[in-house]
Amino acid sequence: MTNGGKSTLAMSLHQQIPNSCIIAQDSYFKDESVVPEDSNGFKQYDTLDALHMDVMMSDVDLWRRDPESFLKQRDLNPEHIAPSVDKEVFVLIVEGFLIFNYRPLNELFNKKYYMEIPYEVCKRRRSSRVYTPPDPPGYFDGHVWPMYLKNHQEMETMVSGIVFLDGLKPREELVAAVCGDVCQEIERLRGKL
């Protein structure tokens, strides 16, 4: 969901997990001139059609083919890349508000986490952020929240194995839980190499 803490969690995980990289769905929005409007005049940013999902998938595929090269090309912090060892596991952190609604991407995940916060908190956080273009009056209640509910329902019908996280918990607690889980998965994958 919007303003649920996805980016904060992803950055914290990236800082703690060697050989990790983030691909953020927000980096793939189409130009606002091609994003359609609904009957109320609200831009339809909360749909897959507002995103260059083909480009995002191309980047994911580049990482899958050669994660070490991808990291070296993209990472602004080269010391974050651990020295190559025989059983090194590379971690791609994909974050975004519609990642579970895009089946080709969804099928690639080893672990799935979904941050949730209540309506009031979401609305308060959203109103404190500055967007380009800015949210018009009534946008949250007239478009953002209804689309979140619709997308959430769709996601639940097509995805299993999601761990739902309480976005109101302290950041350190959430990071520790997810990082511990991911590190267990890394060890499991190392055992298969």
Q: pLDDT tens digits, residue range 16-68?
A: 998 999 999 999 999 999 999 988 889 999 999 999 999 999 999 999 999 98
Q: Minimal CA–CA distance to 88: which of 181, 14, 189, 183?
A: 189
Class at the top of the CATH hierarchy for domain 6-186? alpha beta
Q: SS3 of 43, please?
A: strand
The two three-digit tokens of residue 123, written as one number: 């609305």
Q: Minimal CA–CA distance to 133: which of 28, 4, 46, 31?
A: 31
- Contacts of residue 38, Cβ cutoff 8 Å, sequence gap at least 6: 44, 143
Domain spans of the chain, in order of start: 6-186
What per-residue confidence (pLDDT) applies to 193?
Answer: 65
Of the residues 26, 66, 141, 181, which is catalytic? 26
49 is catalytic: no
What per-residue confidence (pLDDT) applies to 85?
Answer: 53
Residues of the chain with pLDDT under 50: 76
User: Which residue type occupies 117?
Assistant: I
CA dihedral 68, 73, 78, 82 (to 10 degrees): 0
pTM: 0.90
Find the farthest-apart pair of alpha carbons in the chain and give their distance in angstroms, rounded.
57
The answer to whether residues 8 and 78 touch, using CB atoms and an 8 Å cutoff, is: no
How far apart, in Å, are the Cα atoms of 156 and each of 4, 21, 73, 101, 108? 17, 26, 35, 9, 17
What per-residue confidence (pLDDT) applies to 81?
Answer: 58
Sign of CA pseudo-dihedral 144, 149, 150, 151: positive
